[in-house]
Structures are given as structure tokens and as C-alpha cells.
Structure 1
Amino acid sequence: MAKTKRRTATQQAADRLRAIVLDAPEGTLIGSEDSLVTRLECSRSTVRQTARLLEREGLLKVRRGINGGYFGTRPTAETIESTLGAHLEALNVDGNDTTTMATALWVVAVRAASNAESSQIRSVVDRVSRKLKSLDENASFAKVRELDLMIQNEIFSLAHSPYIKLIFDVNVTFSRRHFSMPAENDSGPAHAAFVNSWREAKLMEMNAMASGNENLAGVAAQHSRKVWIDRIKQRHAVMASEAKASGA
């Protein structure tokens, strides 16, 4: 029988302190260093190590002074994205891998959204479709991106999947570092063709969701992501070739 790995005093104290923080409203005074020594039944040095660990996790904030102490808090999505992004960089993760993962997560989210209450789906579909139909083919990439973010929020809200959204955002944020896009190149036939293709793909996604058919919604989501990623890679390739030509 495999031996169970023994947890250190700091790990055990961290488990207890994490539970205490999460059981209390954000901003609650958890206690002073002295009180935590008693409450966690550990040494002062262990409390300090544990506090530093939970600070890095975004669950604890230390305030000095007369009204100071250890206060419970919650990590923000930005903090988590930054931490995970740094970890992905350390692992030398390929931006193409995170792009593929983001697509898989988007498909899951759209499929889940298609199973929401029909009245909620219809409200989102009508609202998004109006914005899509009013999008001019000469709209800048930034304008399209703004609308895409709005659609993402609507879909994740329907899907009731904050965890999937978080991991999706982490992957997208990391991928964006590897597919940086130039400010120019928002005019011409290629860009107009992209705007039209993306708009039609998103309308297809909306209609598939409205039908309540999660399989169809998944296929439509896969297609809309392909249109989006192809354009990002195209823009990135253009930027790279221009830099190479200029000797940068």
C-alpha cells in the first residue's frame, strides 16, 4: 500500500486558515498574529509563513498599525490570470496550445448556454443579433473585439460557468501575448471579408443557441472561433513579415 505523504505544519495551518477566511465575508478581520497562533494551534513562525502563502493566493491582506491585523479577502480574476500567465510562461507553453484550449472552452460554454431557459436565451439572442446586424464591414478590429467581449459576457452569463470563463480568459490573455496585433491593417478587402464572415458566424451561433440544439450550437461555436483565430493569425503574420522586411 502506498504511503500517504505527510503534510507539513504550514500546509495544515494553511488549510485551516483558508477555511476560516472563506467562511467569513470578504474584508473580515480574521485576527492578530497572536490570536492566530492560538486559533491555528501552531508557532508564530508557522503563522507568518501561512499568512505569506495566503497573501500570494489573494486570500489574506495584512494591515499594520493600531487597527491592523489579518483580513480576509478574495483573489481577483486579474490576479489569477497574471499568476497563471506567469506560470505558463515559465513552462514555455506554446500560444497555439492555449488558443486551442480557449476554443474548446468556448464550445463548452456555448453548448451550456443553449440549455438555459428559453426566454433568457431569446433575450440574449435578440440583443446580440441587433448589434451584429448593425456592425459595419468597415468597423475596426478594436470595434469587433469590443463586441466580441460583450458577446462572451452574455454567453458565460447564460451558461452559469464562472470557472470556465476564468480559464477561458487565462488562455485568451496568454495567447494574445503571442499573437500581438498591429493597430493598422483595419482596411481593405481582407478586413471587410473578415468582419462579414465573423458577423455571419456569430449570427449562426446565436441562431443555433436559440434552437436549443446544443450539438448544433457547439458546431457553430467551433466555426466562429475558427474565423476569429484565422484573422488573428493573419494579422500577426502580416506584422511579422513587415518587421522582417524592415530588418527589425
Structure 2
Amino acid sequence: MARKPSKEGLVSGAVDRMKQMILAQDSGTQIGSLPDIAKGLGVGVVTVQQAARVLEHEGFLKVKRGNGGGYYGARPDAASLGRAMAGFLQVNRSREHEAIEIMTLLDCDLISAAALATDEALRERLRDHGRQIDACNTPEQRGAFEQEMQDIIYAMVDRPLMEMLARVTMEHYSSHVRVPIYPGAEGAERWKQERHNIIYAILRRDAGLARFEAQRRREDILQRLARAPSNAEGQ
């Protein structure tokens, strides 16, 4: 006797089949009404509704109600991809150290690419921002500096997928209790020197040096995390 699919299996199967229907047509095309889709898939309307919520969250579906309503295919944008990735990290209980590994790896490419950027206004903005490094003496100041520096680099390289991945992993890391990557006076001075070196390499238009400095920073961060107590807080 064939084993009856579980509720989760039915929803997962409906998600996959509805996604195939969506991708087979242009974005914005109606794939059907709730009763029609349920009949076509051979499942109940509740299963379709649950699958639709998943697809809507992922950015593949838009639900219109009222006259002319129904399910319309869509394509995920950066925001919906970010939500999906954030959900994946949470569901799979990814460690904060893993998020740091991803972020710093992405940074190596982004920082190297920033050295090749030709937008002089953004380069000047980065130069001005770099003048604030030595005044960043608290974790809060360093965190604000990092955020602004990332925003400038993202604008310089214009790589939306890498930007989305970096932002989502940063948010995932920030939502957890963090170990002190740069504790004390020694850590603060090390942080300042690393940022000076990276900005110098970018402004010098030396992509190789920029990648070297980013990789050196990555190795330093990962070594510090490996040595730090797991229950500490701060930056």
C-alpha cells in the first residue's frame, strides 16, 4: 500500500509545481485561481494557500483579491531574496561564525573591485570617510563606520547580488550574541590600521593590494574569533 504523503510533503510538492508554472510564463501572468490550481495539482485549497504563502514570501507570487483576482507569477527582487536567505540561515541554525566567514570572503572581492571603480565622487566620499577612522574608539563608533564604509563600497562596485548576500549575513550575525572581535586598546588599534590599509589600497587603485589587505583582515578576524570566548559580547 502506497504511503500517504505528509502535510509538509504535499505543501513542498505544491510549491515546486507552482514555481514551475510561474517560471514557464512571463512575470505578471496569472497562473490561475485558487480552485483551479488546487484541481490542477490534485490537492486541497488549503495546501495551495500554504504553498502560495511560501512563494509570496520568496517573491515568486503575487496574490490579488476581489474582481480579477487570482495568483500571478512574479520574479524575486533583492529584498525577497534577502528574506528567503535570512529564513534559510535561521531555519538551518547557521552559526554567527559562519556568517562572518561568508561576509569576509565576499569583502575580498568587493574591496578588490572597489579599487577599480572610476566614480570620483564616491572615491572622494571614501577618502573623507577614512579620515574618521582614528576617532572611532568605541564598538558603536566602529560599527557605524563599518556600515557607512560598506555602503560606499557597494555603491562603487554595483554588484547587487553580492551586496544582498553580504547585508543578509551581516544582519544574521548582528542578531546573535557576538564575540569581541577587536577587544581592548590593542584590538581598537588593529581595527584602525586594517581600515587605513584597505582604504589606502582602494584609493591607490591597486586591486591586488586591496585584495591582499582584505584577505589579511579576514584571516585576522577568523583567528580572533577562534581565540575568543563564545559567550562574550561586543565588538
Q: 1:204 to 1:125 in 2, by over 3 A?
A: farther
Task: Give 1:86 shift.
Answer: 3.6
Q: Which residue of 1 aligns with 2:20?
A: 15
Q: Which residue of 1 aligns with 2:9?
A: none
Residue type matched to 1:190 in 2? Answer: G
Task: Give 1:16 shift.
Answer: 3.5
Q: Deviations over 1:65-86 (max 9, x none)?
A: 2364335556565554443334
Q: Which residue of 1 aligns with 2:102?
A: 101
Q: 1:87 to 1:103 in 2, by over 3 A?
A: same
| TM-score, normalising length: structure 2 | 0.68
% identical aligned pairs: 20
Q: Which residue of 1 aligns with 2:65?
A: 64
Question: Structure 1: which 5+ runs fail to align?
Answer: 1-7, 183-188, 241-248
Of 193, 214, 226 in structure 2, the residue corresponding to residue 200 of structure 1 is 193
Task: Give 1:217 shift.
Answer: 0.6
Q: Does 1:142 align with 2:140?
A: yes
Q: Deviations over 1:78-128 (max 9, x none)?
A: 5544433343344343322221121111101111222233xx1x4333222
Q: Which residue of 1 aligns with 2:86?
A: 85
Distance 1:133 1:9 in 2: 55
**CA-atom RMSD in angstroms:** 4.0
Q: 1:210 to 1:134 in 2, by over 3 A?
A: closer
Q: 1:73 to 1:102 in 2, by over 3 A?
A: same
Q: 1:176 to 1:95 in 2, by over 3 A?
A: same
| Aligned 8 A contact 1:14 1:53 in 2 | no
Q: Which residue of 2 aligns with 1:190?
A: 184
| TM-score, normalising length: structure 1 | 0.65
Task: Give 1:9 shift.
Answer: 8.2
**Would you say how many aligned residue pairs link Structure 1 and Structure 2?**
215
| Aligned 8 A contact 1:125 1:206 in 2 | no
Q: 1:74 to 1:142 in 2, by over 3 A?
A: farther
Distance 1:234 1:52 in 2: 41
Q: Deviations over 1:123-180 (max 9, x none)?
A: 3332222223135536432232122112112212222211111222232222233443
| Aligned 8 A contact 2:115 2:210 in 1 | yes
Q: Deviations over 1:171-224 (max 9, x none)?
A: 222223344379xxxxxx925x54443333222212212333222111112344
Q: 1:236 to 1:142 in 2, by over 3 A?
A: farther
